[in-house]
Amino acid sequence: MKAKITKTTVDELRTGAQTAHKTIYCWDTELPGFGVLATAAGAVSYFIEYRLGGRGTPTKRLTIAKHGHKTPSEARALAKIELGKVAGGLDVAQAKKDQQAKLTGATFRDLIERYLAIHGKDTRYWKEKRARLLSSDLKVLHSKSATLITRAEIAAAIDKVQTRSHAAARLLFADIRPIFAWAFNRAAVEANPVAGLTGPRPLGARDRVLSDEEIVAFWQAVSEESWPFQNVFKLLLLTGQRREEVAGMRWRELDCVSATWVIAKERCKNGRAHSLDLSPEALALLDPLGGRAWPRQPGSSNELVFSTTGKTPVSGFSRAKARIDARMSQILGSMFQPWRTHDLRRTAASGMAALGFLPHIIERVLNHVSGAQGGLVGVYQRYEYREERKRALLAWNVHVAGIVRNSEAPSNMVRLRA
């Protein structure tokens, strides 16, 4: 059968194949070598046929797309490209087989490792992404051939994580999607199982900020914690930095003379080193002796400021947070409202804004490269606002110290101590 391959042609071909219970072919009258076939089951595929050499050479066929994934006109355009390669002497069918032969045996874990090796960077963002992709959440898929993984298996893995954490499921879906898109683009997989798959919907943006009364209760509750949780949680509020950045603080990042903390770029989410000015209140929290033994000598075997093992950053935040919540609930009674550790960062930002500091200054304090610092401004504006940032952070620290020190406890609260 020969005809110009259009949607009408394809629909008629499919109906004919299903009625006749056999595969039917149609050759395009506009582009020699381009064709479409329909099976008795109703599947329709576009292909090209060609010879490399004279009449005595065998005919070869290459499937280029399935109907539904590509329209007839899109398939014809792809066919023209592939036939052009054939005209240049390339055996496109064999090239595809060779490529698939190299990658067919690749497991999903192999695919992850290749993707990370090409695209990954030495930043905390990529380290966290790698940890999620290689975690037990995807263990059932790691050893499976990447070409055999189905949409249903991806969806099941994401759904399982979502029962534990909606945010973790969203992150994992965002991690998986570009890997399969990249693999499909390089013919490492026949189809992209994530294409068209809908991930967990975003939750509403959080706007939880602790009030001054809650800050006072938080400070008292945290003060009843031992080293290092008391110090880490207080620093989270005073500096507005991320939990992993504070918990993983190194002595070599600190300068006691200038009272600065330079977070190494490898530990920053955006891969940019970040300088921060520390108030006297923050400096005093950097040692279990209240600052009297700070700083440690350079070259100390214990590089971590907050560690119970001397080898790894402090962990066990969930249990510590539960204790703090219980104590705050006792202090605040019915006024107590649930909060997350990340809300301390938002509280610091909102506090600096309430003290009159502009958004772009606060974003620099938080080491954000978005919002006011995004787009062309982020590219061309390299002024670091060091003095402005210092004033904002110190003003916030003075504010926190003041409300903690001077607050009069209401009748259902214990008087708080600094």
Pair (166, 243) in one structural domain: no
- pTM for the model stands at 0.57
Residue 196 within a domain: no
Residue 201 within a domain: no
Per-residue pLDDT band for 349 (boundaries 50, 70, 90) equals very high
The 10 Å Cβ neighbour count of residue 334 is 7
Per-residue pLDDT band for 289 (boundaries 50, 70, 90) equals low
Would you state the structure tokens that stand for residue 361, as one six-digit string? 């200054």
CATH of the domain at 236: 1.10.443.10
Pair (298, 371) in one structural domain: yes
Whether the Cβ atoms of residue 320 and residue 313 lie closer than 8 Å to each other? no
Pair (221, 144) in one structural domain: no
Which has more pLDDT, 358 or 95? 358
- Among 45, 64, 92, which residue terminates a domain? 92
pLDDT for res 142: 94
Pair (115, 66) in one structural domain: no
Please state which of the ranges 125-129, 138-142, 297-301 shows the lowest mean pLDDT: 297-301
In terms of phi and psi (left: phi > 0; alpha: psi -120 to 50; beta: otherwise), the region of 21 is: left
Where would I find the H helices in 336-385? Answer: 343-354, 359-366, 375-380
Residue 255 above 60 pLDDT?
yes
Which has more pLDDT, 371 or 274? 274
Residue 412 above 50 pLDDT?
no
Please state which of the ranges 125-129, 201-205, 268-272, 404-408 shows the lowest mean pLDDT: 201-205
Would you state the structure tokens that stand for residue 385, as one six-digit string? 């606002």
Mean pLDDT of 326-344: 94
Residue 205 within a domain: no
Mean pLDDT of 166-192: 89
Question: How far is it, in rounded angstroms, from Cα 303 to Cα 311?
Answer: 8
- Among 170, 185, 200, which residue terminates a domain? 185
Pair (36, 181) in one structural domain: no
Q: How many domains does the chain have?
A: 3
Provide the CA 240 distance to its chain's centre, in angstroms: 21
pLDDT for res 268: 86
Pair (130, 241) in one structural domain: no
Pair (216, 135) in one structural domain: no
Pair (233, 352) in one structural domain: yes
Q: Could you give the C-alpha distances from 50 to 23, 301, 389, in angstroms and in order?
A: 20, 69, 67
Pair (117, 246) in one structural domain: no
Question: How far is it, in rounded angstroms, from Cα 236 to Cα 365?
Answer: 13
Per-residue pLDDT band for 73 (boundaries 50, 70, 90) equals very high
- Among 41, 64, 92, which residue terminates a domain? 92
Pair (225, 330) in one structural domain: yes
Residue 77 within a domain: yes
Which residues on adjacent β-strands are paired with residue 61?
A: 49
For the stretch 16-71, pLDDT in tens is: 999 999 999 999 999 999 999 999 999 999 999 999 877 788 899 999 999 999 99
CATH of the domain at 8: 3.30.160.390
Pair (253, 337) in one structural domain: yes
Residue 197 within a domain: no
Residue 299 within a domain: yes
Pair (270, 180) in one structural domain: no
Residue 415 within a domain: no
Domain that holds residue 280: 212-406
Residue 334 within a domain: yes
